[in-house]
């Protein structure tokens, strides 16, 4: 398939410099793009790649207009990355195949489940009793939506997602575990995307809540009674234990793990691989990763780490032996 530059401008706006009839056959990264491809430059630190790019046209910000013009065709917009996102959407629509039935015949949908207008339910999906799927929401294949769970409008749930399995709750009883039935459900807002094989458990008494615009990657676990604030983005393999309260506009890096019953404030960013064992209320970037090293160095440092408290005491003793140091402020 191909779109002319002029068609892209007609659909998405932007200031075109170049031949509107140029056929664009695909999108590509700046450094790999060919003359029939469209690229974008968002981060000014890659501007030196611009001159060498063979792209047929480049999407740039106003600050790079002159440099881009010197190279060839360009589309000037305030936010090249956002514009690029919209080009991908345009492309996706332009190359879309004719759609099959809105509800795949193999889907198992309870009689009293409510499927919103324009929703699409893929092969082998299961929608249990009392569940509600919002208008325009897409359940790709093999999505499970448990009893009484609600999904908002325009959501996208990828293959293998499980919404509304039981939360993990048991009371000890003479060495065995007695099940605490999970009587809550899951409520998911509008415009939420949930990646493949991700699981969101139903609440114990109240509901687990995912607010509008949350974006979740694959293989994420969300425990019962969590609340995830609007427009928070969560990368793959993250685990969030029960009753954690995550703010709005947060970003959780891949494989970050969040302990239960704690609060993460708005606009907190957790680095990939970090374990969050306490509440974090102040916006900012937080990290806790053991730095990787060659194995021999790691072994020596890890062994010493187990004596770290003792080393600190030895430093104290040395300081004492050297006499009073009034300027010293021990933290």
Does the annotation mark 261 as catalytic? no
114 or 123, CB closer to a copy of itself? 123
Name, in order, each residue with C-beta under 8 angstroms of 58's C-beta and a sequence gap of 6 or more: 30, 33, 38, 39, 40, 41, 50, 68, 71, 72, 73, 74, 75
- Using alpha carbons only, what angle is made at residue 191 by residues 185 and 192, rounded to the nearest 5 degrees? 50
69 or 123, CB closer to a copy of itself? 123
Task: Scan residues 26-65 and list those touching a copy of itself (CB under 8 A).
Answer: 26-29, 32
**Binding of residue 262 to a copy of itself (CB under 8 A):** no
Applying CB under 8 A, the span of 8-16, 44-52, 54-62, 179-187 interacting with a copy of itself comes to 179-187
Could you give the CA distance from residue 202 to residue 195 in angstroms, rounded to a whole number?
18
Which residue among 36, 236, 262, 263 contacts a copy of itself (CB under 8 A)? 236
Could you give the CA distance from residue 102 to residue 113 in angstroms, rounded to a whole number?
15
Task: Scan residues 154-173 and list those touching a copy of itself (CB under 8 A).
Answer: 156, 158-160, 162, 165-166, 168-173
Task: Scan residues 105-144 and list those touching a copy of itself (CB under 8 A).
Answer: 106, 108, 122-124, 126, 128-129, 140-142, 144
Could you give the CA distance from residue 150 to residue 130 in angstroms, rounded to a whole number?
9
Which residue among 48, 52, 117, 176 contacts a copy of itself (CB under 8 A)? 176
Are the beta carbons of 260 and 278 closer than 8 angstroms? no
66 or 292, CB closer to a copy of itself? 292
DSSP state letter for 44: G
DSSP state letter for 103: B
Catalytic residue among 224, 231, 249, 309: 224
Which residue among 155, 185, 257, 265 contacts a copy of itself (CB under 8 A)? 257
Tell me how crowded residue 183 is: count the other CB atoms within 10 A of its CB: 14
Please name every residue paired with 245 in a beta bridge, in sequence order, or none if there are none.
Answer: 227, 263
CB of 275 to a copy of itself, least distance (A): 4
Which residue among 235, 246, 250, 252 contacts a copy of itself (CB under 8 A)? 235
Which residue among 120, 187, 227, 231 contacts a copy of itself (CB under 8 A)? 231
Count of chain residues binding a copy of itself (CB under 8 A): 132
Could you give the CA distance from residue 18 to residue 20 in angstroms, rounded to a whole number?
6
Task: Scan residues 191-210 and list those touching a copy of itself (CB under 8 A).
Answer: 191, 193, 195-197, 199, 201, 204-206
Instruction: Give the pairing of strands 3-4 and 23-24.
Output: antiparallel
Which residues are identified as catalytic?
A: 224
């Amino acid at each position: 398939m191909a779109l002319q530059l002029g068609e892209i401008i007609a659909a998405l706006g932007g200031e075109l410099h170049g031949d509107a009839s140029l056929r664009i056959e695909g999108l590509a990264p700046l450094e790999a793009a060919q003359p029939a491809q469209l690229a974008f430059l968002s981060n000014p630190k890659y501007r030196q790649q611009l001159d060498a790019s063979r792209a047929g046209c480049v999407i740039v910000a106003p600050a790079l207009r002159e440099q881009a013009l010197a190279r060839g065709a360009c589309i000037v917009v305030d936010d090249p990355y956002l514009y690029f996102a919209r080009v991908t959407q345009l492309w996706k629509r332009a190359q879309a195949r004719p759609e099959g039935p809105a509800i795949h015949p193999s889907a198992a949908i309870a009689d009293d489940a409510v499927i919103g207008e324009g929703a699409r339910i893929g092969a082998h999906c299961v929608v249990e009793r009392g569940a509600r799927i919002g208008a325009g929401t897409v359940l790709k294949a093999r999505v499970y939506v448990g009893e009484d769970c609600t999904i908002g409008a325009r959501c996208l749930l990828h293959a293998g997602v499980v919404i509304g399995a039981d939360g993990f709750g048991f009371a000890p009883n003479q060495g065995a575990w007695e099940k605490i039935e999970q009587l809550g459900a899951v409520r998911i807002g509008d415009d939420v995307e949930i990646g493949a094989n991700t699981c969101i458990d139903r609440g114990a008494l109240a509901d687990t809540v995912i607010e509008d615009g949350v974006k979740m990657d694959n293989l994420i676990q969300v425990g019962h009674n969590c609340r995830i604030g609007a427009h928070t983005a969560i990368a793959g393999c993250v685990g969030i234990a029960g009753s954690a309260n995550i703010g709005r506009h947060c970003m959780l890096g891949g494989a970050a793990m969040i302990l239960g019953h704690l609060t993460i404030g708005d606009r907190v960013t957790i680095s990939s691989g970090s374990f969050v064992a306490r509440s974090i209320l102040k916006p900012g970037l937080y990290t806790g990763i053991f730095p990787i090293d060659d194995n021999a160095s790691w072994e020596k440092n890890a062994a010493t780490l187990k004596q770290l408290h003792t080393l600190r005491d030895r430093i104290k003793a040395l300081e004492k032996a050297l006499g009073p140091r009034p300027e010293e402020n021990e933290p």
